[in-house]
Chain A
Amino acid sequence: MTFVSRLALLLAASVVTAVVATAVIAFAASERVSEEIERARVAHLLSAVKQNAEASLSIGLALDQISTLQNRIEREKAGDPSILAIEVFNPSGRAVYSTDVSVTGETVAADWVRRLSAPGTWQAVERGETVFGSHFENDLGVAGGIAVTVSDESHLNRVDRLAVDLILRAAPLALIAALVAAGAAIAFSYVVTRPFDHAARVLAGHEAVGADDPDLVRLAGQARAGWNAAEARIDRGLQQLGALDDAG
């Protein structure tokens, strides 16, 4: 492999690696961002329902008397197609309000009740769906919990769309960058191997035009002179042998 092809290959590989590394980092970041967005959306929803419940509990209403909660959760579900269900349940694990009316009065997952004592927002994955939950309090402590079930489909669809978009952006960029890098490699190779060309010209008997590497050009001149001297002696020797032949 010649110097120029080796260098062009290395440079093209280098810029393509840079673009691919960036694409991988961007994809990892987009997955993180997608999760952040999901969490931010649900965190706000949990906080709004929690605020609503705690405000009503603070004026002495019982959990099953807060009729605005049912409207609230239904409205939130209607406004966000990725939400599959919202349940508000009491500390004993019975659903008091739910966007699925058939669930009202039923027992919720035991895991949700166990997580009621956890501070802040919790998250669990159940059968390909993600459940985000939180609890709300009254003066006596934990008064119940909220669970929002979100479909993973929208998250996966978003990640898939972004991955395709990333590939469609990265591929032509990598190709253009590789071509530019290969062009730069050819230009650099021309400059860096010019002394070899000058040496070849001198060896062929031409004058050296410019001298990027005077040492190599001088050596080429000396080599040429060596050939000339040797050939001159060979010519002289042949003449002398010819003369001996004629005399014999």
Chain B
Amino acid sequence: MRAEPLRPGRARLWTALVVFLITLSVGGGASLALTDGFRARVEDSARRDALVIGTSVARTLAQQFERAARFNVPLKLIPGVDAYLADTLAGTPGITQIVLRGPDGREIRSAVGEEPGTDQASAPVTVDGLQVASVEVSTNPAALISSSARFRLSSMLAVLATAVAFALAAAFLAGSRLDAEHARLASGLARAAQEEFEPGPLDHRRPPRTGSGAVGRAYGALLQGNRRVTERRAALEAYAEELLAVDFDGALRPDVERIRREVLARPATADKARSS
């Protein structure tokens, strides 16, 4: 019976695929958790800066409205305020909303950005010590660090590149070796099936450590079985030699030689020897 060739490269392919997917899911998940947590920390550290900018904007606007109020111009009637507030909002990083409120707290004019505000700075508009309005500026540190949004994408690309690199490394450093061990074991089993119990050319390479893992256990079982048969053959040989040593007239030699041939012959030749 001849051994059929086994499909090569299966372990290499599966190992590469598993390393790629696990790196992508576990490494990617950890990276996402890291980037999200760190982004929140960076935003938190930028809060004070956003608030400094917001306070400065509120003060500047309050000064400008004070000039108009001093000339008794009603703040509601000043032309172009909405456009000016919108321009200030768009041109100043970190602020998300500017509201001009009357002395009763009601909104007179405003400019609102896309992001919600997290902190607020306020400056009063005073004329002769009397508050006639106030400027409220909402800030959000996320608006300050929007330019770094791509760092999440960069991290994901790095994870992808790592997954590809380690998948290739695993394919050659682990998967290929398992395929090689598979081929060696298959070859050893096929030779044992053909009753070749002596170590073959492939077995002269460094054998896997028996007892450590499934590969070692399979090799161990194969080597043990081969050794047992070889030792029993050696015992029979020794017995045959013992008989021949005392066969002074040579009468036993033909029968001893026939028995030796029958025992040592491979299956096909053994049948032939027995029939002849």
Contacts and interface: CB of A to CB of B under 8 A. Distances in A.
Interface of A: 2-4, 6-7, 10-11, 13-15, 17-19, 21-23, 25-26, 28-30, 32-33, 36-38, 40-41, 43-45, 47-48, 51-52, 75-76, 79-80, 158, 161-162, 165-166, 169-170, 173-174, 176-177, 180-181, 184-185, 188-189, 192-197, 199-200, 203-204, 213, 215-216, 219-220, 222-227, 229-231, 233-234, 236-238, 240-241, 244-245, 248
A192 B34 contact: no
Contacts of B19: 7, 10-11, 14
A169 to B, nearest CB: 5
6 contacts: A10-B174, A194-B214, A215-B3, A231-B229, A237-B263, A240-B255
A230 B197 contact: yes
Interface in B176-190: 177-178, 181-182, 185-186, 188-190
A66 to B, nearest CB: 13
Contacts of B108: none
B170 A10 contact: yes
Contact of A203 (B35, B45, B225, B251): B225
A244 B221 CA distance: 35
A209 to B, nearest CB: 14
A189 B243 CA distance: 53
Contacts of A194: 214
Interface residues of B, number: 103
B220 A200 contact: yes
B221 A48 contact: no
Contact of B189 (A52, A219, A233): A219
Interface string B11-47: 1001100110011001111110111011001100110
Given A203-B222, A238-B235, 17 more contacts: A2-B215, A4-B213, A7-B19, A22-B159, A30-B38, A37-B145, A48-B60, A193-B178, A196-B215, A199-B218, A220-B189, A223-B222, A226-B194, A227-B225, A234-B232, A234-B233, A234-B236
A224 B216 CA distance: 18
Nearest to A245: B243
Given A30-B38, A165-B38, A233-B270, A193 B213 contact: yes
A245 to B, nearest CB: 6
A166 B188 CA distance: 53
A36 B43 CA distance: 13
A223 B93 contact: no
Contacts of B52: 41, 79-80
Interface stretch (B99-107, B112-120, B127-135, B161-169): B161-169
B240 A241 contact: yes
Question: Which of B3, B174, B246 gathers most chain A CB within 10 Å?
Answer: B174
A115 to B, nearest CB: 23
Contacts of A185: 22
Nearest to B213: A2
Given A14-B19, A184-B26, A245-B243, A226 B193 contact: yes
A154 to B, nearest CB: 9
